Structure 1
Amino acid sequence: MITLAVFDMAGTTIDDGGAVYRALEDAVTETGVAVAPADLQEWMGTEKRAAITALIGLGGGDATVPGLVEATFDRFREILAERYAAAPPTPIPGVTEAITELRANGVRVALTTGFSRDVASGILTELGWHVDDSSVAGAAPTLAIDALVCGDEVAAGRPAPHMIHRAMERTGTIDVAEVLVAGDTAVDVLAGAHSGAAHSIGVLTGKLDRAEFPAAATAVLASVAQVPAYLAAGELA
């Protein structure tokens, strides 16, 4: 029985029009290196300072230059804020309803992200989403979740399993056999597999095609919106 669902944010539960991809690419390019599309895809979903470090190196730059990674990270946040101001992120169709249904059926829902806490919290505030044990300033919340875990809160981001395990800790979940993980990138799926979760699902709301997900994926669904039906079908099987 699944008692915890752990979902990625951008591209999985939230549609940002690819703003994270472009902001990361632009920030790294501004350091004077080129960013290959394959490298960008490989590092999407990871903690953003780690991604910046890797992409600078892959582009032939020197990420060990004092202050370069942090300055690039700050620039990434600036560009992302500008893009979000111009085109605010929105929930992926059906996801709000799916999360509400899961929680109504006793499944806790946690979000994980490679964003820092301040960026992720700001996105949730804009959406009117909130963590169930905290308050959100501004408009009345439209959706509650049970936990938020960010890339700057663990020793290593995806594909390491630490954010998933931290989500378990924050929701009081003790058995990985009761955990379902879903995300739109390869590292989302690998993190789920590394965590020992019962299900590590790829979703097609990001940039990957079905065949591009790693073999570790226990299923590939069109969207997180299909997760309640997926679980129901499993229980009936």
Structure 2
Amino acid sequence: MIELAVFDMAGTTIEEHGAVYEALRHAVVSTGATVSAADLQTWMGTDKREAIAALVRIGGGTPDADLVERQYGVFRTDLERRYAQTPPLPIAGADTALAELRARGIRTALTTGFSDDVALPLLASLGWSTGAGGNLDAVVTADEVGRGRPAPYMIHRAMEKTGVVDVRTVLVAGDTTVDLEAGTNAGAGVVVGVLTGRLTRAQLERGPHTHVVASVADVPGLPETVRD
């Protein structure tokens, strides 16, 4: 039986209209590097500083620490502008799915490649929070771990925060291949791809998974989440 459900944020539980993809692309190409759609998608679910460094390097640039930090600032500024123009919203059915899982005694957590200064205001804008009266049991940002996805550390940190000790009782869901790889690397018992991001079913199914579903709204319907 699942004790903890760990979800990605952008594209999985939050509809942000492609803003992260475009802001990350802008942060890379504004250095003079080139970036392909395939490479950009590969790095979408990772820590955004790591993504900028990798994509600049792939695109022919030299991503020293100063450049990466400067371009992370470019990413943040562009993302904030895009969010102001088209505010993010919960993915359809996400609120209900989170509430239903918690009503069954399953703890819920969000993990993200964003740092605190991006993730926490975004969640606040949706009215999502942890603690008394909140709809989440934990949030883990890229700031809290030594390495982001596909490393398993954010998932393990979510387990630590929620008191779950058996990784086989953890469900991980995300819309990118690196989300699925992180769940698998963590040893999660259930690894779910959701089709609300930019990847097709065929693309997601190439990654390690136990299920691929249309949306996070379908997660409470998985047999592993139902208590006898």
Q: What secondary structure sits across from 1:5 in the alignment?
A: strand
Q: Report the alpha carbon displacement of residue 107 of structure 1 after superposing the two structures with TM.
A: 0.4
Counterpart position of 1:154? 145
1:111-122 paired onto structure 2 within 5 Å: 111-122=110-121
| Equivalence map 1:1-237=2 (5 Å) | 1-64=1-64, 66-132=65-131, 144-213=135-204, 214-231=206-223
- For residues 37 and 207 of structure 2, the distance between their equivalents in structure 1, rounded to whole angstroms, comes to 22
- AA of the residue aligned to 1:75: V
Q: How many residues align?
A: 227
Change over 3 Å in CA distance of 1:232–1:194 after alignment to 2: closer
**Equivalents in 2 of 1:217, 1:233: separation in Å?**
16
SS across alignment from 2:87: coil
Alpha-carbon deviations, 1:130-158, whole Å to 9, x = none? Answer: 1125xxxxxxx7x5100000112101100
1:234/1:102 CA distance change after superposition, 3 Å: closer
Runs of 4+ that moved beyond 4 A: 232-236
Q: Distance in 2 between matches of 1:101 and 1:119?
A: 27
Return closer, same or farther for 1:233/1:199 CA change in 2, 3 Å cut-off: closer
TM-score, with length taken from structure 1: 0.93
Query: For residue 137 of structure 1, what is the aligned residue in structure 2?
Result: none
Of 26-35 and 82-91, the range deviating more from structure 2? 26-35
Aligned CA RMSD, in angstroms, stands at 1.4
Question: In 2, distance between residues paired with 1:47 and 1:227?
Answer: 25
The answer to whether the 8 Å contact 2:15/2:91 transfers is yes
Q: Distance in 1 between matches of 2:111 and 2:162?
A: 13
Give the gaps of 5 or more residues in structure 1. Answer: 134-140
Measure how far apart 1:198 and its partner are.
Answer: 0.3
